[in-house]
Amino acid sequence: MAHGRCLAAARARIGGSVTDTIRRIAHLDMDAFFASVELLRYPQLKGLPVVIGGGRRKVDEAIMRHVPEGGTLADIPVEAFPLLKDYVGRGVITTATYPARVFGVGSAMGMMKAAKLCPQAIVLPVDFDEVRRFSRQFKGIIRDIAPIMEDRGVDEVYIDFTDVPGGQREGGRVLARLIQKSIFEATGLTCSIGVAPNKLIAKMASEFQKPNGISVVYESDLQTRIWPLPCRKVNGIGPKADEKLKRLGIETIGQLAGCEREWLIANFGKATGAWMHEVAWGRDNRPVVTESEPVSMSRETTFERDLHAVRDRAELGAIFTHLCEKVAEDLQRKGYVGKTIGIKLRYDDFKIATRDQTVASFTADGKVIRQTAGHCLRRVSLERPLRLLGVRVGTLAKADSPEATAPMSEGTGLRTPSRARTKAQDTTGSLF
Ligand code: TTP
Ligand code: MG
Ligand code: MG
C-alpha cells in the first residue's frame, strides 16, 4: 500500500501522459533591484547608467524642484538629475543598473572611484520603504502561484516547483516564465530565475542569464555548466575559503570535485571539507522552508550617552514607554499577540541583564506591555548607568488563532516569572 502511494506521488500527469516527477527547485533574484525600483518612479532614466548610493533626502529635494508645472516625476528632465562625477564623499554604491555595470561599476565600490569609470552615471538614493513594498508585493505574487517559497532576503527567494502545475514542464521553464511575467505585469520589475535539482545549483543558475533570464539546469549538466565555474560561485564559499583554495591550486568547482574528500577535510576541517566535497558534486538536499513563525518580537535602543535610572529618570521613562509602544505596533501590524513580556538591559560595563514575566492572556496592547515590562524592571539592579534598553514579547500566537482568542484563563492575571528569579533589587521604587 505504502509503496503504491509513493509511486503515485512520484508521478505527475503532464499533458495527458504520465511522467516521472523530478525535484525542481528555483532560485529567483530581482534584477538590479534597488535601482529598478527607482526607475519605476523615473522612467525617463531607463537605459541610462544609474547608480544607487549616497544620502536620501537632499537628492530628493533637489530633483523635486524640477517637476514642471502640472507635471509628474516622470517629466523631470534627465539633465536635472545629479551625476556621479559631481559626487564628493565616502559613500559606496549599493547597486547599479546594467547599463552602468558595462563600465565596471557595481555594488560595494566607492562612489568616487566609480565616478572615474562612469562619470556620467546618475546617482539616486535608496528609498527603503518603496523597496520593502515591492519586495512584499513580488513575494506575494510568487506565493499565489507556487506556495512553497522560502524568503531569502529583500530581493530573492527559493521556490519548490516540484509539485506545482507547470513546474515539471520543460524542466520548470514554463512555470518560471509564468512567474516572471506575473511579476512584470504587476510591478514593471524584471527578475532572473534558475531552476535546478536543488538550491545550491538553482542559486548559481539564476545568475546565468541575468537580467530577465531563465536558466534550466539538470543533474546531467553538472560537468558542462557547473564545473567550469570558479569556486567562489558556490553560495557559502566566501573570499577567505576561496583564497585558501586558490593557494592550494583549486580555482574551479570541477577542480574541487577532483579533490579527495579526506584531503579537503584535512585542509578545511571535518564539516567544511565534507560540505565542499558534496557541493562540488552538485549534491544538496536542503528543503525549501516556507516562512517560519516568529518566536518573539523585540525593540531595543542603545543610548547616545549612558543613562542613569535616577538621574535620567524622565528620559529613560519616555524611551521605555516608546519601546513598549513600538513592540505593540509591530505585533499589531504583523497580526500577533504574545504572553511573555521581557526586558533587556546593558550596563555601562557591558554586562547584560534580562527578566521576563508571563501574563494570563495574550496581548498586543502597549499599556499591558508597558506595565508588565515595568514589573520586570523592578527585578534588576538599576544602580549602574545603562547603555541599552530593550523590550521583548515572546510566546507568540497569531492574533486570530484559537489559543489567542480563547477566554482568559483563571487566576490573577499575572503568573509567576518564568526565569530564575534573583531577589528584586528595588532601587527604583515606583519609578517605572
Ligand atoms: P543583489 O541581488 O545582490 O543585486 P541587484 O539586485 O542589485 O543586482 P542583480 O541584478 O545582480 O541581482 O542585491 C539586491 C539588493 O540589495 C540590491 O539592489 C541592493 C541591495 N544590496 C545592498 O544593500 N548591499 C549590498 O552589498 C548588495 C550586494 C546589495
Ligand atoms: Mg538581485
Ligand atoms: Mg539578491
Each residue of 351-378: pLDDT tens digit?
A: 999 999 999 999 999 999 999 999 999 9
pLDDT of 55: 67
pLDDT of 407: 62
Residues forming beta bridges with residue 150, ordered by sequence position: 158
Q: Taking 80 as the threshold, does the pLDDT of residue 166 lie above it? A: yes
Phi, psi of 159 (to 5 degrees): -135, 135
C-alpha cell at position 296: 518573539
Whether the domain at 40-126 and the domain at 227-280 fall into the same CATH topology: no
Name the residue with the closest Cα to ligand 1, atom 8: 32
Please tell me the class of the 40-126 domain.
alpha beta
How far is ligand 3, taken at its centre, from the CA of residue 169, in Å?
26
Q: Does the model's pTM come out above 0.75? A: no
Q: Taking 80 as the threshold, does the pLDDT of residue 383 lie above it? A: yes
Range with lowest mean pLDDT among 58-72, 233-247, 382-396: 58-72
Q: Is 108 in the pocket of ligand 1 (CB under 6 A)?
A: yes
User: Where in the chain are the domains?
Assistant: 21-30+130-222, 40-126, 227-280, 296-405
How far is ligand 1, taken at its centre, from the CA of residue 218, in Å?
27
The residue-averaged pLDDT of 320-339 equals 96
pLDDT of 248: 97
User: pLDDT: is 78 or 128 the higher one?
Assistant: 78
**Is residue 64 very low, low, confident or very high in pLDDT (cuts 50, 70, 90)?**
confident
Yes or no: say if 375 and 350 are a contact pair by the CB < 8 Å rule: no
Residues noted as catalytic: 156
The residue-averaged pLDDT of 8-26 equals 65
**Please, what's the b/e burial string for 377-413 (b: 16 or more CB within 10 A of its CB; e: otherwise)?**
bbbbbbeebbbbbbbbbbbbbebeeeebeeeeeeeee
pLDDT of 336: 94
Q: Counting beta carbons within 10 angstroms of the beta carbon of residue 89, is it exposed (0 to 12), middle (13 to 18) or buried (19 or more)?
A: exposed
Portion of the chain with pLDDT greater than 90, in percent:
80
The residue-averaged pLDDT of 158-178 equals 97
Q: In terms of DSSP H, where are the helices of 146-252?
A: 173-187, 199-205, 239-247
How far is ligand 1, taken at its centre, from the CA of residue 94, in Å?
7
Query: What's the length of the chain?
Result: 432
The residue-averaged pLDDT of 89-99 equals 94
Q: Taking 70 as the threshold, does the pLDDT of residue 15 lie above it? A: no
The residue-averaged pLDDT of 6-10 equals 40
Cis check for the bond before 211: say yes or no (omega within 30 of 0). Answer: yes
How far is ligand 2, taken at its centre, from the CA of residue 214, in Å?
14
User: pLDDT: is 426 or 404 the higher one?
Assistant: 404
Range with lowest mean pLDDT among 47-61, 132-146, 240-254: 47-61
CATH domain 227-280 topology: DNA polymerase; domain 1 (1.10.150)
Q: What is the mean pLDDT of the chain?
A: 89
Ligand 1 atom index nearest CA of 35? 18
Phi, psi of 353 (to 5 degrees): -130, 135
CATH domain 296-405 topology: Dna Ligase; domain 1 (3.30.1490)
The residue-averaged pLDDT of 110-119 equals 96
User: pLDDT: is 414 or 188 the higher one?
Assistant: 188
In the Cβ-directed half-sphere of 395, how many Cα atoms lie within 13 Å? 15
Yes or no: say if 258 and 245 are a contact pair by the CB < 8 Å rule: no
The residue-averaged pLDDT of 319-339 equals 96
Ligand 1 atom index nearest CA of 98? 10
Name the residue with the closest Cα to ligand 1, atom 10: 31
Q: Is 94 in the pocket of ligand 1 (CB under 6 A)?
A: yes
pLDDT of 426: 28
Q: Taking 50 as the threshold, does the pLDDT of residue 411 lie above it? A: no
**Please, what's the b/e burial string for 188-207 (b: 16 or more CB within 10 A of its CB; e: otherwise)?**
ebbbbbbbbbbbbbbbbbbe
Name the residue with the closest Cα to ligand 1, atom 12: 31
User: What gap in Å lies between CA 3 and CA 1, rounded to an integer?
Assistant: 5
pLDDT digits (tens, 9 = 90+) for 30-61: 999 999 999 999 999 999 999 999 766 566 77
- Nearest ligand, measured from the Cα of 34: 1
**Is residue 13 very low, low, confident or very high in pLDDT (cuts 50, 70, 90)?**
very low
pLDDT of 124: 94
pLDDT of 405: 81
**Is residue 6 very low, low, confident or very high in pLDDT (cuts 50, 70, 90)?**
very low
Provide the CA 44 distance to its chain's centre, in angstroms. 30
Range with lowest mean pLDDT among 4-13, 48-57, 147-156, 310-319: 4-13
Q: Is 38 in the pocket of ligand 1 (CB under 6 A)?
A: no
Secondary structure (3-state) at 342: strand
CATH domain 21-30+130-222 topology: Alpha-Beta Plaits (3.30.70)
Yes or no: say if 374 and 432 are a contact pair by the CB < 8 Å rule: yes
User: pLDDT: is 431 or 135 the higher one?
Assistant: 135
Q: Is 30 in the pocket of ligand 1 (CB under 6 A)?
A: yes
Q: Is 131 in the pocket of ligand 1 (CB under 6 A)?
A: no
Q: Is 418 in the pocket of ligand 1 (CB under 6 A)?
A: no
Question: Ligand 1 pocket check: which of 27, 29, 33, 36 to mutate, most ligand atoms within 8 Å of Cβ?
Answer: 33
Name the residue with the closest Cα to ligand 1, atom 4: 32
